[in-house]
Amino acid sequence: MDLTWSAAEQAFRAEARAWLGANVPTTPLPSGDTREGFALHLGWERKLFDARWAVVSWPEAYGGRDASIWEWLLFEEEYYRAGAPQRVTQNGIFLLAPTLFEFGSTEQQDRFLPKMASGEETWCQGWSEPDAGSDLAGITSRAERDEAAGGWRLSGQKTWTTSGAFCTHLFGLYRTDPTAERHRGLTYFLVPLDSPGVTVRGFGRLDGDEGFAEVFCDDVFVPDSLVLGEVDQGWKVAMATAGSERGLTLRSPGRFTATTARLVELTKARAAADPLARQRVAQACIDAEAYRLQTLATVTKLSEGRPAGAESSLTKVFWSELDVSLHESALALLGGEAELDDSPWMKGWQFALSGPIYAGTNEIQRNVIAERVLGLPRK
């Protein structure tokens, strides 16, 4: 066991910290879940990209630094520590990209990754449908074969699509084999949202920002070149994304370490002597540290080529409920001012409440833990 960073890693961290210190906007950008805010965030993304901080772990060819997973962790820690803007490109970079690297053709990678990294093209996820939430296998959106045109014609409605109203592209699952049941017969498509037949309607999330969208496809043509992975194998491909969404890449410990640090400051300012608040903040630090350490253990396994284990469900439940309790503790400190909408804590609290719901509800995750990790019977 060695919990020290190498000279190279420390240098990498120092470089990241210096750059972020010099470039992170001093006044926070407006919410990236509004049209104006999204645009402003893209400006920041471009800045990150030009300095090659947008996708540090990617190959240089695609705008990255070939950074190790350790360096990626360090960068994330510094990113949140610096209070840098939310990544409006994250659905592409963190959810789609890993899948593209694993299942995409070289053409697809060359075509999409650079513009994803620069923010020139932005991606949203088209999975949920009005009747397919926790039960994704209930997807009814379909793609019909157009042999003549060499592609597929998509129809159906996706919904609760994060940032859907502001993105240029959607990656989603459509049923290519109407006779197949449940998880079979689905195909993973990359869909330009300016394709004829696509209608996007943004709508508000809990906090009122237009963070959600419905994406309607009405006989939308998508060429074979935009099928990711094999036809009818979409579920397998999608699960790889789900893995990275629930797992390491989307929720780096830096986020919770930073929130915990803000909670510590709030406690010092408001209730440094209140034993109840002291217990809560201590528990917050314990949990955030536990999450960081558990990630280090996972990264150690991965970097040594050992399997990370079926633990992404454990992780997802833990970070999402930690995030909720961090904000709950902060609001408790604010007392009668807690209800004020202009505090970052109330905004963060509402966002935190989505954690136990999206990327597979925590009820589903606990089933998965019981069944796949503990070996309890499915039914």
Partner 1 sequence: MRFAFTDDQLAFRDAVRVLLEKECPPSTVRAAWTNTTGRTTSAWTALGEMGVLGALVPEADGGLGLSELDVVLLAEETGRVALPEPFVEHVFVGAPLVASEATATGMMTVTAGDPFVPYADTADVIVRLGHDSFLVDPARDSDLTPRRSVDTSRRLFAVERGSSDRDLTPAEVSTAYWRANLGFAAQLVGLGHHLLESTVEYVLERKQFGVPIGSFQAIKHKLADVRIALEFAAPLVYRAAYSLTHDDPDQRIHVGMAKAAAADAAALAARHALQCHGAIGYSFEYDLHLWIKRVWALGAAWGDSTWHRDLVARAILDS
Residues that bind its own copies (CB under 8 A): 274-276, 279
Provide the minimum distance between the beta carbon of 150 and partner 1 in the complex, in angstroms, as a whole number: 35
44 interface partner picked from partner 1, its own copies, none, CB below 5 to 8 A per type: none
Please identify, using beta-carbon distances, which residue of 231 and 332 lies nearer to its own copies: 332
Q: Decide if residue 361 touches partner 1 (CB under 8 A).
A: yes
Contacts of 305 (CB under 8 A, 6+ apart): none
Q: What are phi and psi for residue 324, nearest 5 degrees?
A: -60, -45
The single residue among 147, 291, 326, 327 that binds partner 1, judged by CB under 8 A, is 291
Binding to partner 1 by residue 240, rule CB under 8 A? Answer: no
Strands 123-126 and 169-175: parallel
Among 15, 146, 177, 289, binds partner 1 (CB under 8 A): 289
> For 327, what's the count of Cα atoms within 13 Å in the CB-facing half-sphere?
20
Task: Report if residue 325 touches partner 1, rule: CB under 8 A.
Answer: no
Instruction: Verify binding: residue 149, partner 1, rule CB under 8 A.
Output: no
Query: By CB under 8 A, which span of 38-46, 48-56, 134-142, 173-181 interacts with partner 1?
Result: 134-142
Task: Find the shortest distance in angstroms from Cβ 256 to its own copies.
Answer: 25
Rounded-to-integer distance, Cα 315 and Cα 317, Å: 6
Instruction: Give least dist CB 331 to its own copies, A.
Output: 17
Of 23 and 68, CB closest to partner 1 = 68
Note whether 176 binds partner 1 by CB under 8 A: no
End-to-end CA distance of the chain: 41
Q: CA 248, CA 243: separation in Å to the nearest integer?
A: 8
Binding range to partner 1, per CB under 8 A, among 189-197, 220-228, 239-247, 289-297: 289-297
The one-letter amino acid at 65:
R
CA nearest neighbour of 124 among 87, 90, 86? 90
Judged by beta carbon distances under 5 to 8 A according to partner kind, the member of its own copies, partner 1, none in contact with residue 107 is none
Catalytic one among 144, 245, 304, 337? 245
Q: How far is the CB of 276 from its own copies (least distance, A)?
A: 6
Span interacting with partner 1, options 113-121, 146-154, 249-257, 328-336, rule CB under 8 A: 328-336
- Pick out residues in 21-60 that bind partner 1 (CB under 8 A): none
- Name the 3-class secondary structure at 214: strand
Tell me which of 149, 150, 276, 344 binds partner 1, using CB under 8 A: 276
Question: Measured between alpha carbons, how far is 296 from 293 in angstroms, rounded to an integer?
Answer: 5
User: Is residue 107 flagged as an active site residue?
Assistant: no
Contact between 188 and 232 (Cβ < 8 Å) = no
CA distance 286 to 239: 31
Selection from partner 1, its own copies, none that 272 binds (CB < 5 to 8 A by kind) is partner 1
Q: Shortest Cβ distance from residue 181 to its own copies (Å)?
A: 22
Q: CA angle 145-150-151, nearest 5°?
A: 50
Rule CB under 8 A: say whether 296 interacts with partner 1. yes
By the rule CB under 8 A, 307 interacts with partner 1: no
CA distance 319 to 239: 20
Could you identify the residue written with the tokens 């009668």?
A: 336
Q: Give least dist CB 371 to partner 1, A.
A: 7
Nearest to 319 by CA among 277, 354, 288: 288
- Distance set, CA 170 to CA 88, 167, 191, 194, 339 (Å): 14, 8, 5, 10, 36
Catalytic residues: 245
